[in-house]
Amino acid sequence: MRHAVVTAGSKGLGKKVTEQLLQKGCSVTVNFRSDLSRVNELKEEWKEYADRLQFVQGDVTQKEDIKNIFTQAMKRFGRIDYLINNAGPYISERKKLVDYTDKEWYEMIEGNLSSVYHFLKLVIPVMRKQKFGRIITYGFHEAEHAPGWVYRSAYGAAKVGLVSLTKTVALEEAEHGITVNMVSPGDIVGEMKELSIAETRDIADSNTPIGRPGSGEDIARVIDFLCDEDSDMITGSVISIAGGVDVVNKFRQYHHSEN
């Protein structure tokens, strides 16, 4: 049985990814940061999968927490086939680089880039022994082109760095049967993150060229496909799942201060 580790897998996009992998027949270690009541709800919702599901608390900005997530996954299931780096802190407030605190900057870098580094260091040796592994990172639309993203300097810098890391490790580990790919969700917000595709088809969205909002299932389906054994020809790829929306430029405006 394949085993997956999904960071931040109890809410939002991560919940739909976890659900998809459970339905696929995998066992899953779900990392969550702090919401125990949510975990208890999911234990009830997913009780049919209880024998192949575990929850591990931890903050991916903390190296020791990452080590514990890895240790608990190996202790119970003895293998890691899929590493889904779904967690990634984000600052909703729109502000320029000079207005960031050091703490905010480092949280963005540690949570979106360094966390993947620490996971890779732990997981790749396991996958090499298995001669099989599927690693998924998350970016944003056109991150591979290193665009400027107004008010998102720290997050953008971390994710653009993650593109290069994704492509590099894909090349380094290809000989071991390990693929590494990035998915780039579009402007999927709020409750849409946990909806199915069928549920979003009834919701009109004039801001999306395809006419409906994106859903968590849109992301989960692509990740499921990339994790398949026969998807080994796809590695080092950045796949946008945005419905045609240019996320970076969607709200780009320039306000010049008057002196």
**pLDDT value at position 246?**
84
Strand ranges for the chain from DSSP E: 3-6, 27-32, 53-57, 82-84, 133-138, 178-185, 238-241
Q: Is the dihedral of CA 74, 80, 82, 85 positive or negative?
A: positive
Q: How confident is the model over 106-135, as pLDDT tens digits?
A: 999 999 999 999 999 999 999 999 999 999
Contact between 5 and 70 (Cβ < 8 Å): yes
Q: In whole angstroms, what separates CA 4 from the centre of its chain?
A: 13
Residue 61: band (very low, low, confident or very high) from pLDDT cuts 50, 70, 90: very high
Q: Is residue 259's pLDDT more than 70? A: no
Is-above-0.85 flag for pTM?
A: yes
Residue 190: band (very low, low, confident or very high) from pLDDT cuts 50, 70, 90: confident
State what percent of residues in the chain have pLDDT above 90: 84
Identify the residue with better confidence: 254 or 209. Answer: 209
CATH number of 3-241: 3.40.50.720
Residue type for position 165: L
In the chain, where are the structural domains located? Answer: 3-241
Q: How confident is the model over 220-257, as pLDDT tens digits?
A: 999 999 999 999 999 999 999 998 888 887 655 545 55
3-state secondary structure at position 9: coil
